[in-house]
Structure 1
Amino acid sequence: MKFQRWLQAHTTAITIASALLIAVGYLGKWLGSTWGYAVPLMVASIIAAVPIAIHAYQALRVKVISIELLVTIAVIGAFAIGEYNESAIVTFLFLFGNFLEQKTLAKTRASIKSLTALAPTTAAVLQPDGSTADVDIDDVEVGDVVVVRPGDAIPVDGVVATGTGYADEAAITGESRAVSKEADTPVYSGTILSDGYLQIRATKVGDDTTFAKIVELVEDAQDTKSHAEKFIDRFAQYYTPAVLVIAAVVLLASRDLRLAITVLVLGCPGALVIGAPVSNVAGIGNGAKRGILVKGGTAMDGMAKVDTFVFDKTGTLTQGNTTVTDAAYYADAAGARQLVAALEATSNHPLGSALVAFAGGSTNLPVTDSQVIKGQGVTGTIAGQHVCAGNLKLVQAHGVALTVAQRAKLAAMQATGASTVILAVDGTVTALFAIADAIRPEVPAALQALKASGAKELVMLTGDNAVTANAVARQLGIDTVHAELLPADKVTYVRQLQQAGRTVAFVGDGINDSPSLATADIGIAMGSGTDVAIDTSDVVLMRSSFDALVHAYRLAKKTVLNTRENVAIAIAVVLFLLVGLFAGFIYMASGMFVHEASILVVIFNAMRLIGFGKSAKLDLRQVQTTD
């Protein structure tokens, strides 16, 4: 065991030594020394073959016939026929190919290393006497108050107890943007306090933090095999023994040991075995850098096949809170806002709250005789004026008549699906307000981008009323709308789409839509990484943005395409080598060189995924279908 660990630690040195010995051997040949040529090559073959043979033995112990076994047998055969140069070059190229493979794969996992490097190891915990003590991160408990200063990494999930500042949440959302933090706002482990001073009460620590879950998720995802990888694994179980059988048949038929050994070497499916995993790792790493967490190769495959996107409305397509989206004034605008804010401050209705916020907060105007009329609005007296704020039924009951133009404006507001509030002062309409859950501004162009990238149908399922839902759908270009649904009804519609042969992705907030996220072929949670979102969905968009959704869809398609390219390259190279062998223009050393070169080709092809989408930020105003 110690010897195996030593070999693993010194494989690079063995590879370098093998190369130097090969150079010495060919120098001896040039000088005309037979022993000076043969001995260095024999030593090079032996030292390079040892780690390969050990790997082959370990695989055989678990009943796996590996590529290393083919190379080991080939080296023994080359020794048997005295072709030390062939055995030395084959073993060197094999080790060198593995060296480059590991170095390249390490680059594709850089996103994980950069994430884990952000994880703090200690926390400054506030003590009862007001001092702080540096405590190992594993010893911090829920409820502890930790102190974070400018430039420090936040060590726990929690809420701000005291202090203000700005945190860089790139590790969580993928977007390097300063986020304001003040009392009672949430903070996440692994984010950086770029400015300010915070005392944070811990709500999650250690492996329970959002940051720890993200790292674990991405690590697990990169180890989760795609359909292509699973197929290749099954293929390799039969392919490798088949190569051994073919080599044996060639030996019996031709009595040419050299030819049979060459078949063993050139038949190694190295590029085929490595091509799919490296694409998978690179694609998932690309997403992780952008706050897109894809749960493994299977989820990546499924995302690429999606042809129908189903969206929840509130909080997904819309901003999730009611705001004033339109206003029309028939008197002094500032005065109208002050009056409606003063009157609505006496009510706790959501529409009233939106109007107070729109006016900049409640005013100091005294309101008397205020009365909340359920289902209609609010009335009261302000500065001796009788003020009404509510629907048409309310103002008509107080003798207020709307002009033709005002009625037309009111109808236009209502046609957008917004709730409307009429402000009347002493019997005269002074303002009309439209209040709605505002659509995210980037959504319309993003939905076009999804269609341009291959989505066939966009569906909205919502518990909101049909008028509002249809109005929102018209603005967004949604193909199909189903409104006034309970969570169970949404699941039913998702299943109906699946039964119709669609591959469905459900996009929701990961909390109240968890049944639909779990039912869909691909569940996509748009949110800040809640436990439910991470556990239920296949893809988590930490930044909750639609440009991330479009990137995830395009990345999935690109990753699957890249995997297919690698498989095609690998199969084409094996066929070329075998044809070249029997045609007489490919030999063991040259064939092994081509074989190892093909491994590098598929790795470098996969590495293109690391930079996918980096050359130009997605411009949702000009939807493009190219990457």
Structure 2
Amino acid sequence: MEVFKNMSKENKVNLLRLLFFTIISFILYRYYSHVGKKFSIVMGFLIVYLLLGGEIFQRGIYSITHGNSMDENFLITIATFIAFLLGQYEEALAVLIFYSFGEVFEDIATDKSRDNIKSLMDIVPQKAQKVNPDGTFTEVDIEDIEIGDIILASDGEKIAVDGIVIDGEGLLDTSSLTGESLPKSIKSGSKILSSSILSSGIIRYRASKVFDDSIANKIIELIEESNERKSDSERLITRFAKIYTPIVVALATFIAIVPPLLGFGLREYLLRAGTFLIIACPCALVISIPLTYISGLGLASKNKILLKGSNFFEKIMDSDTLFTDKTGTLTKGEFDIETIVYYTDYSKNLILDYIYNLEKLSNHPIAKSIVNSLNRNDNPSYFIASKNIIGMGVWARTYENNEIKIGSADFVGEVDNTNGKAVYMTINNLLVCKIILQDKLKDDAKETIDDIRENFNQIAVLSGDDEKAVIEVAKELGIGYCAKLLPDEKLELLRDEQKKGHSVIYLGDGINDGPILKSADVGISMGQTASDLAIEASDILIVNGEVSKIKDLIKISKIVDKTAKENLSFILLAKIIILILGLFGYAPMWLAVFGDVGVSIIATLWAMRILNKKI
């Protein structure tokens, strides 16, 4: 099984130790069955019993002496002691061996889940180049960077800590933070966040936070703590065990004392009491149900989905409404030309040739999109000089001594009324055209919405964008919509649905939707978020920003829910049957062992199957 790959050294040692004790126990049993109860054989059993169960006994005694509720360790301790006292040596060792194997399997599965989760933590470099006062460089651990330190970053390097650019310029890939496919132009004065990647350029930046306070570390902390928030089912099992265990001990005590007082055999009913304790031990429930959810967290993280707690699997299953943001969530930031607005009597063909040939000088994704959309002929001979100004646009001068600027509204000196979705062109500071861009739907958006439609009573896009753009997206996806919404209006709409009894999932880009992400029953961010507020507000992070991961998330939630129910049903059925047999004396201790630890191992392996699921 995949779950046993890359097993930790500790788990390997524990498995070898258990295999060794299993072989020794089998040899002792064979000798015991042939030569009987000799002192050397009994001492051999006792030594193995103490070595094998020492840690379990310590935990059981500690639980009682420190005022904690009686747990499975205490029940195992009492049951095996009774078995050993009554001469059922092989039974006592079998209980300890099976139980210990169950614990090791649980540790292996938990480690595998955590490894999958921690694979998402490779979002920052381990080292950074610190610029010394004399201009030399020193390689330092990112934990040693202090506020005010100057750090050098080159092409392809990850940003170590949050900071402010003081020198240089380039393009910053923030997709690991925001899921945004368009690189962000940066220059002196630009704020940058840890774990983003400098895709081009060389910069020096001043650290504005130490690593422990950085965005990346906040994400890492959430990853490490993701399995600490328990699901409702896990909490129920924990509460159940605290009440159930004392009742079981009381019943076992009754079985051991009352029948002998009425004239029945003391040995027989002590053995029945020990058998009852083993059968009734709740470790199968206590181990397998939480492990089901831990395995679900591992499978999700393996598929680039980070849940901040296993409780959200159940909340996803209970949700009947899906609201989603548009820009950066359903759309990918790769623009097509929607229309070109002309303002002068300049030749349109000449204008398009200028745009095509000048935008080819830029590596910016919007420039590349415009070039691909226009598909004109190359003619660089139009210009005697040209310059690509990173983050702003392209400047050129023609042989006729005309100055041309193509780029953002700020670059050409115009007022933008398109929310940044246009490129402007001026000739001699006269606006000649405006290229209005249209954001593209993500490739997997329509297929995903179609696939998950049956899971929700209502799916709608909520956007602050203009109505025309929102209608086009909603119509193409076949979902409802609301446009021109301010953040507080989005929040009000969501709360209205909750007041009607609906459980709402909100899917956003994790940047401007902090309030609604926090208020939704399940808030999902597309890409690791770019603000402290959004990190705290989101319940689930989809690391790569793919809409199709919503479909995967729902599928994983169904797998977890089904596995938990299957394990619960199997455990309760097996225990009830064997418990009844035990009360009437028809269940030997080996069957009690199967009824507890054997069932635990089967349920644990069944839960571990989740880690090998292909989504």
* Band of TM-score, shorter chain: 0.7 to 0.9
1:224 alignment partner AA: R
Q: In 1, Cα distance between the equivalents of 2:208 and 2:321?
A: 38
Question: Structure 1 pair 120/508, CA: closer, same or farther in 2 (3 Å)?
Answer: closer
The 5-angstrom pairing of residues 28-47 of structure 1 reads 28-35=31-38, 36-47=40-51
- Which of residues 4, 21, 25 in structure 2 aligns to 1:22? 25
1:70 aligns to what? Answer: 75
Does 1:138 find its partner at 2:156? no
Once the two structures are superposed, what CA deviation does each residue of 1:183-209 show, in whole Å capped at 9, x if it has no partner?
A: 65997756899x999555245442233
Q: In 2, Cα distance between the equivalents of 1:314 and 1:174?
A: 11
2:452 aligns to what? Answer: 450
1:324 aligns to what? Answer: 337
- Which of residues 222, 226, 234 in structure 2 aligns to 1:229? 234
RMSD: 4.8
| CA deviation after TM superposition for structure 1 residue 11, in Å | 6.7
Q: In 2, Cα distance between the equivalents of 1:512 and 1:253?
A: 68
1:601 aligns to what? Answer: 602
Q: In 1, Cα distance between the equivalents of 2:179 and 2:526?
A: 13
1:486 aligns to what? Answer: 486
Q: In 2, Cα distance between the equivalents of 1:514 and 1:151?
A: 30
1:440 aligns to what? Answer: 442
Question: Structure 1 pair 157/434, CA: closer, same or farther in 2 (3 Å)?
Answer: closer
Contact 2:102–2:601 under 8 Å retained in 1: yes
Q: Which moved more, 1:508-517 or 1:247-256?
A: 247-256
Contact 2:120–2:304 under 8 Å retained in 1: no
Q: In 1, Cα distance between the equivalents of 2:610 and 2:204?
A: 38
Question: Structure 1 pair 322/42, CA: closer, same or farther in 2 (3 Å)?
Answer: closer
| CA deviation after TM superposition for structure 1 residue 17, in Å | 5.9
Matched position secondary structure for 1:525: strand
Contact 1:295–1:539 under 8 Å retained in 2: yes
| CA deviation after TM superposition for structure 1 residue 37, in Å | 3.3
Q: In 1, Cα distance between the equivalents of 2:481 and 2:230?
A: 36
Q: In 2, Cα distance between the equivalents of 1:240 and 1:181?
A: 58
Once the two structures are superposed, what CA deviation does each residue of 1:297-340 show, in whole Å capped at 9, x if it has no partner?
A: 222321222221111233323345864136899x9985462478
1:298 aligns to what? Answer: 311
The two structures have a TM-score, normalised by structure 2, of: 0.75
Contact 1:165–1:198 under 8 Å retained in 2: no
Q: In 2, Cα distance between the equivalents of 1:512 and 1:332?
A: 42
Q: In 1, Cα distance between the equivalents of 2:495 and 2:321?
A: 12
The 5-angstrom pairing of residues 388-537 of structure 1 reads 435-452=437-454, 454-478=455-479, 480-530=480-530, 531-537=532-538
Q: Which moved more, 1:467-476 or 1:200-209?
A: 200-209
Contact 2:128–2:151 under 8 Å retained in 1: yes
1:446 alignment partner AA: T
Once the two structures are superposed, what CA deviation does each residue of 1:113-152 show, in whole Å capped at 9, x if it has no partner?
A: 5456776554331223332213233221245344568998
- Which of residues 55, 58, 62 in structure 2 aligns to 1:58? 62
Matched position secondary structure for 1:156: coil
- Which of residues 299, 302, 308 in structure 2 aligns to 1:289? 302
Q: Which moved more, 1:184-193 or 1:74-83?
A: 184-193
Question: Structure 1 pair 141/260, CA: closer, same or farther in 2 (3 Å)?
Answer: same
2:352 aligns to what? Answer: 337
| CA deviation after TM superposition for structure 1 residue 154, in Å | 5.7
Q: In 2, Cα distance between the equivalents of 1:544 and 1:553?
A: 16
Question: Structure 1 pair 115/309, CA: closer, same or farther in 2 (3 Å)?
Answer: closer
1:561 alignment partner AA: K
Matched position secondary structure for 2:506: strand
2:524 alignment partner AA: I
Question: Structure 1 pair 72/464, CA: closer, same or farther in 2 (3 Å)?
Answer: same
Q: In 2, Cα distance between the equivalents of 1:129 and 1:432?
A: 48
| CA deviation after TM superposition for structure 1 residue 577, in Å | 2.2
1:212 aligns to what? Answer: 217
1:591 aligns to what? Answer: 592
- Which of residues 311, 325, 338 in structure 1 aligns to 2:324? 311
1:337 alignment partner AA: L
In structure 1, stretches of 5+ residues that fail to align are 1-6, 345-350, 367-382, 384-418, 424-430, 615-627
Q: Which moved more, 1:47-56 or 1:219-228?
A: 47-56
1:415 aligns to what? Answer: none
Question: Structure 1 pair 245/279, CA: closer, same or farther in 2 (3 Å)?
Answer: same
1:445 alignment partner AA: E
Q: In 2, Cα distance between the equivalents of 1:300 and 1:200?
A: 43
Q: In 1, Cα distance between the equivalents of 2:493 and 2:298?
A: 33
1:259 alignment partner AA: R
Question: Structure 1 pair 245/111, CA: closer, same or farther in 2 (3 Å)?
Answer: same
Q: Which moved more, 1:54-63 or 1:153-162?
A: 153-162
Q: In 2, Cα distance between the equivalents of 1:200 and 1:352?
A: 26
Once the two structures are superposed, what CA deviation does each residue of 1:219-251 show, in whole Å capped at 9, x if it has no partner?
A: 211121111000111111111112112223333
Tell me the percent identity: 27
1:287 alignment partner AA: A
| CA deviation after TM superposition for structure 1 residue 477, in Å | 0.7
Matched position secondary structure for 1:223: coil
Contact 2:123–2:216 under 8 Å retained in 1: no
Q: In 2, Cα distance between the equivalents of 1:128 and 1:359?
A: 49
2:42 alignment partner AA: A
Q: In 2, Cα distance between the equivalents of 1:281 and 1:434?
A: 48
Contact 1:291–1:543 under 8 Å retained in 2: yes
> How many pairs does the alignment contain?
543
Once the two structures are superposed, what CA deviation does each residue of 1:371-410 show, in whole Å capped at 9, x if it has no partner?
A: xxxxxxxxxxxx9xxxxxxxxxxxxxxxxxxxxxxxxxxx
For CA contacts below 8 A with separation 6 or more, give which structure has more relative contact order.
2
The two structures have a TM-score, normalised by structure 1, of: 0.73
